[in-house]
Amino acid sequence: MSAVTSPQTPSAPSPRQGGPGSRRYDADATILLVGFIGAGKKTLGFIASAALRRRFIDFEESFQTKFQSSPQAFAAAHGFAQYRDAEVALCQEILTKHQTGCVIAGLGVTASFPSSGVLATFTQQHPVIYVRRDKSDIQQFIGGDPAKFERIFAIGNAFFESISNFDFFNITQEAPPRAESNAHLSLKLKEIERVFVGFLRRIFGKPELQLFSADAFSESHTYALQLSLCDLEADDFNLDALDAGADAINVLLDHQSYSDEGIMNRLSRYMTTLRKHTRVPIIIDARMDERKPHTAYRKFLGDMTRVAPDAFTLSTACSDIRKEIHSIKGHSTMVVLHNHTEPLGVGSPDALITSIRASFDDSSFEAFHLVGQSAVAADTLSCVALRRKLRDILNIPVIAYNNGPGDRASKILNPTLCPLTVHSHITAELSMQEAQHALTSLSLYPKKKFVIVGQDVRFSLSPPMHQSGYNSVGLPHTYIHQEVQDFREIEEIFRYPSFGGNLDGIAISLPFKTDVLPLLDRISPDAQDIKAVNTVILDHRIESDGVRTPFYHGYNTDYIGIKDCIYSHLSPANAIREGSTALIIGAGGMARAAVYACYQLGVRRILIYNRTLSNAQSLIQYFRDWARSREDKSFHLDVIESINDPWPPNSRFPTIVVSCIPGRHPDTHAPVELQISDQWLESRTGGVYVEVGYGPFKTVLMEQLTPWSNKGWVLVDGLKVLVKQGIAQYELFTRRPAPIHIMRRAVREEALKHEYFHMW
């Protein structure tokens, strides 16, 4: 079929990883996207195909190939009944033939009920995703009389819900200003790409690592931001609150919310909104009203798993359906929720523990959430003791606290997912700053000190970026800079890490990122591969003689900053695929990080240009040896000797260009006069240009690339790289999610103050 983008035809038994209907699938199970015309199935299908390296099959194009007619024309020429028969036959053929390794988009012009038998079998063993969209947008595509549209929509919506097992809401992209370039228009689609691909990875139980902080369900004093659908729907809700440092987001639903007939449309829409604006786990927390029938609650629990939440709660009042929900929850974490009518730990705590143990004698849940009522401050320690005892008995994460204004302390001392609110003016509620300050005042959260060392670090924007993040969430930490000209000064810091106060982390700047390696006790695999470290965490270990000695763990977050900037600015048209090529300018430590970043993104063809040819050759030889050690024969690196050389004919034009050279000479501070051949930039779809350095000057290379922004090139300055790598470094240092918008704003303000070049 011409609709199939690969000649391969995978054939394998139907995936049965978790059994029919379990929402657990083999890694290569085919994905089917269904929904109304105009919902965006084909676009999302292309995105999924490229990201997951799968074959793409479009139903409409397959129909055109098989019958030499579009579905619309076929129906007009032969009548709906004959079209329906053709649709069912083709649907059965495609779904039977392509059980694995594919992404299939669409079912035809209209929803066809005879197809549902074929689909029902397929849905039991494959993810079938109902792609939702604004009703008004669907109406624009379908057209016709409003009353007729309502009937069509009601029938179609019921059909698509009945044949699918997941919901994804494709949020409509607002029309941008006319002056905006096509490259920037495509980046708006990039946001949905990131959210949708993340959604698919969660369905398959392989979510990408987005945070370097502690596990949200750990006992490291993590926080959950409490939000209702009404909060999200409020006109004045500030979406920046979603990435303000909480470890998870609890989406709270009351009886009225989850009983609403359109709840799944609302929920899927706001799950997409949340995923666009936060990286932390999302927990769906439906609170059952004991005074009302449980029917709506039970139905919602079954439906809610369609949005693939990271976790969800299930009330003990419905413990009889716990195993049923567990069998269809996919990879979501199930948290059993028990509302106790008295303060926790007061009265007969042993009786409560016995009751809990008797009720939950299986392993169908992964965490336990216990909420007490009507407590006073004196009840706090009883609550704390009960939580610890339950944790030891159940051997799973336990969240336990009392509600009400009389015992806020029990929430603060609950170390797992302490509930926070954006409305901290309410007496009974907590903000993160309040909770964090309380823990610090009780000496339960230590003050930490971090330092960035290197040459010219007095110009670094890292200290204000990190410090603003600490201050915004109430962390008591400090981040300072220390200029060093000789590596022996760094050795001295490592030898005596308590200079001027206890030191918990060191950011290594130029030119010492490789020299520092021998001083470290452990190096992360990424830093080991790159042979450079820019982030060092100081820990301690107890020796056999009881002596407490420092232990240094090194990481590289430079490559993370480069990788994230490339990915987030690379348009879907330039999605990385076989043959994608990158150009790295420079051959120093940052160039190593850039090569590694491109490799991690899937680029297997990289060219290096550097003024000193021998350095470029050394860099290439290092990564050739590295690839050989991994038995990766697909990784190809070559050098471009001169800017006057034509682009190698055996390589595609690059869609990724990363400049790893400083914008100015370190001694004279004069701009580095370097341009590349315009011929190297002739990718028909443009690409992304990333600079890793920042400073007061717009570099000569950036000046050269600026006109190319009208030809599909997206330009990324070094301040964006700074923020991206700073997010990872912040989370490694603090074990807390970074408040991204706060750190980004601090960098922007400092750049304006110091008159640094920026492209905000």
Tens of pLDDT, residues 110-155:
555 555 677 888 999 999 999 999 999 999 988 889 999 999 899 9
Q: How would residue 3 be classed by pLDDT, with cut points 50, 70 and 90?
A: very low
- Residue of 449 and 318 predicted with greater confidence: 449
Residue 428 has pLDDT above 70, yes or no: no
The Cα–Cα gap between 598 and 273 comes to 29
pLDDT at 13: 38
Is 94 part of a structural domain of the chain? yes
pTM: 0.91
Over residues 520-532, mean pLDDT: 97
Q: What is the pLDDT of residues 603-636, one digit of tens each?
A: 999 999 999 999 999 999 999 999 999 999 999 9
Q: How would residue 227 be classed by pLDDT, with cut points 50, 70 and 90?
A: very high
Please check whether residues 348 and 436 belong to one and the same domain. yes
pLDDT at 115: 56
pLDDT at 64: 93
Residue 26 has pLDDT above 60, yes or no: yes
Going by DSSP bridges, is the β-strand pair 535-542/548-555 parallel, antiparallel, or unpaired?
antiparallel
Please check whether residues 472 and 428 belong to one and the same domain. no
**What is the amino acid identity at position 188?**
K
Please check whether residues 428 and 495 belong to one and the same domain. no
pLDDT at 606: 98
Please check whether residues 641 and 526 belong to one and the same domain. no
List the structure tokens of 616: 């470029």
End-to-end Cα separation, the chain, in angstroms:
45
Residue 723 has pLDDT above 60, yes or no: yes
Is 734 part of a structural domain of the chain? no
pLDDT at 114: 53
Please check whether residues 417 and 491 belong to one and the same domain. no
527: CATH: 3.40.50.10860
622: CATH: 3.40.50.720
Q: Environment class of residue 326 by beta-carbon count within 10 Å: exposed (0-12), middle (13-18) or buried (19+)?
A: middle
Over residues 439-449, mean pLDDT: 93
The Cα–Cα gap between 546 and 262 comes to 62
Q: What is the pLDDT of residues 230-249, one digit of tens each?
A: 898 888 888 988 998 999 99
Q: What is the pLDDT of residues 544-591, one digit of tens each?
A: 887 878 889 999 999 999 999 999 999 888 999 999 999 999 999 899
Phi-psi category of 286—alpha, beta or left, where left has phi over 0 and alpha has psi -120 to 50?
Answer: beta
pLDDT at 360: 66
At which of 441, 470, 487 does a domain end? 441
pLDDT at 295: 92
Number of domains in the chain: 4
Is 377 part of a structural domain of the chain? yes
Q: How would residue 353 be classed by pLDDT, with cut points 50, 70 and 90?
A: confident
Please check whether residues 326 and 341 belong to one and the same domain. yes
Long-range contact list for 460-463, CB < 8 A, 24+ apart? 460/509, 461/694, 461/719, 461/722, 461/746, 461/747, 461/750, 461/751, 461/754, 461/756, 462/507, 462/722, 462/726
At which of 556, 580, 607 does a domain end? 556
Q: What is the pLDDT of residues 667-690, one digit of tens each?
A: 666 677 889 999 999 999 999 999
Percent of the chain whose predicted confidence (pLDDT) is above 90:
67
306: CATH: 3.20.20.70
Please check whether residues 492 and 527 belong to one and the same domain. yes
Is 78 part of a structural domain of the chain? yes
Residue 538 has pLDDT above 60, yes or no: yes
At which of 538, 556, 574 does a domain end? 556
C-alpha separations of 17 from 21, 33, 331, 336 in Å: 10, 20, 12, 25
Please check whether residues 421 and 468 belong to one and the same domain. no
Percent of the chain whose predicted confidence (pLDDT) is above 70:
91
Query: Which is it for the CA torsion 624, 627, 628, 632, positive or negative?
Result: negative
pLDDT at 560: 98
Is 752 part of a structural domain of the chain? no
Mean pLDDT of the chain: 89
Q: Domain of 610?
A: 559-716
Please check whether residues 635 and 668 belong to one and the same domain. yes
Is 162 part of a structural domain of the chain? yes
The Cα–Cα gap between 515 and 491 comes to 10
List the structure tokens of 156: 């179609």
Please check whether residues 489 and 566 belong to one and the same domain. no
Please check whether residues 550 and 601 belong to one and the same domain. no
Over residues 48-58, mean pLDDT: 94
160: CATH: 3.40.50.300
Is 642 part of a structural domain of the chain? yes
Is 12 part of a structural domain of the chain? no
Q: What is the pLDDT of residues 185-203, one digit of tens each?
A: 566 788 899 999 999 999 9
Residue 181 has phi, psi (to 5 degrees) of -75, 160
Please check whether residues 160 and 274 belong to one and the same domain. no
List the structure tokens of 47: 């995105």
Q: Are 598 and 604 in contact (CB under 8 A)?
A: no
Q: Environment class of residue 245 by beta-carbon count within 10 Å: exposed (0-12), middle (13-18) or buried (19+)?
A: buried
Residue 660 has pLDDT above 90, yes or no: yes
